[in-house]
Amino acid sequence: MAGREKAGQTKPKESPEKKVRTNLLQHVLSRRAPPAKEDTKSLLHRLVFLAKISPELADKRDLAGYWHRLFLSLQRYYQGEGVTGLLLLYPTYVVHTLEASSEVLYSILRDLRDMQPQQHRALVLEPKILVLSHNIPSRLFQQWSYKVLAVPSRHLGYDTSREEPIETITGECLAMLLKLGMHLLKYPKSPPNLPDAVLEEVPNLIVPQDTICHLLECRELLSPAQFLQAYDSPLNVVMDSERVWPLPGKVKLDAVSS
């Protein structure tokens, strides 16, 4: 009969919605941050380094121009998103916060490393890595900008008699820089060279020069050369199964007479 199903036949069940299979890495990344536009290759990292400004540098703004040209060159090479961050130029020191891909940040570290043997041409001296944060969920800085700070040559903000671990001092400096980045979100259309009024509102978020001087003298902080040497060196792991004691030796077999 029309409109009735034939005996012994049933309606095909509607196939449930297929679940997209992902690997463990994608699952962990999806819980950490919202899905990216492309693939996991667009993960962000944050680098903060300190350095002394070369006394032969006449105009500190030349540092901003040098790094700006370097960023443009790296962006053309890696064909990715640009570099964001903040460059603070003190009378004798520099604090540079950068957000970019790992390839770009490691290229910047290699540039700092290669700059050091050329003392007479180096723009910055004795750089140290304050922190390198991997897989940050999003950019804090909306653009790369810089500021020449009009602060006294010795801003007594750090008491050398304080016996604090380097981890505590590093954490305090990083917190100040991140809060400063959040403050800059109020000025999304600021020029690369930040106006004086932007940072004058938050003088307590400027890392004191004495603290920078103390950090540059700490052996716990790695230079770009030390960091890259550890990063580029192969990792040789000896398994327990490879450990044999006593040491193997040659086995002498006595001739067996027939």
Q: Looking at residues 198-206, what average pLDDT do you find?
A: 93
pLDDT for 54-87, tens place per residue? 998 989 999 999 999 999 999 988 877 789 999 9
pLDDT at residue 79 in the model: 78
Q: Looking at residues 197-206, what average pLDDT do you find?
A: 92
Helix axes 102-115, 224-232, angle to 10 degrees: 120
Compute the distance between CA of residue 122 and CA of residue 117 in angstroms, rounded to an integer. Answer: 8
pLDDT at 122 exceeding the cut of 90: no
Q: pLDDT-derived band of residue 189, with 50, 70 and 90 as boundaries?
A: confident
Q: Which two tokens stand for residue 169?
A: 């001092």
Q: Is the pTM of this model over 0.85?
A: no
Whole-angstrom CA distances from 219 to 47, 128, 222 are 19, 10, 7
pLDDT at 161 exceeding the cut of 90: no
Taking a C-beta distance cutoff of 8 angstroms, is the pair 176, 205 a contact? yes
Helix axes 166-184, 209-216, angle to 10 degrees: 130
40-232: CATH, from 3.40.50.300, 3.40.50.720, 1.10.287.610, 3.30.70.100: 3.30.70.100
How many Å separate Cα 85 from the centre of its chain? 11
pLDDT at residue 247 in the model: 61
pLDDT at 8 exceeding the cut of 70: no
pLDDT at residue 150 in the model: 86
Nearest-CA neighbor of 110 among 216, 224, 223, 221?
Answer: 224
Beta strand spans in the chain (E): 44-53, 84-89, 93-100, 124-136, 144-148
The C-alpha torsion from 134 through 138 and 142 to 144, rounded to 10°, is 10
Whole-angstrom CA distances from 116 to 6, 49, 51, 203, 247 are 86, 15, 11, 32, 45
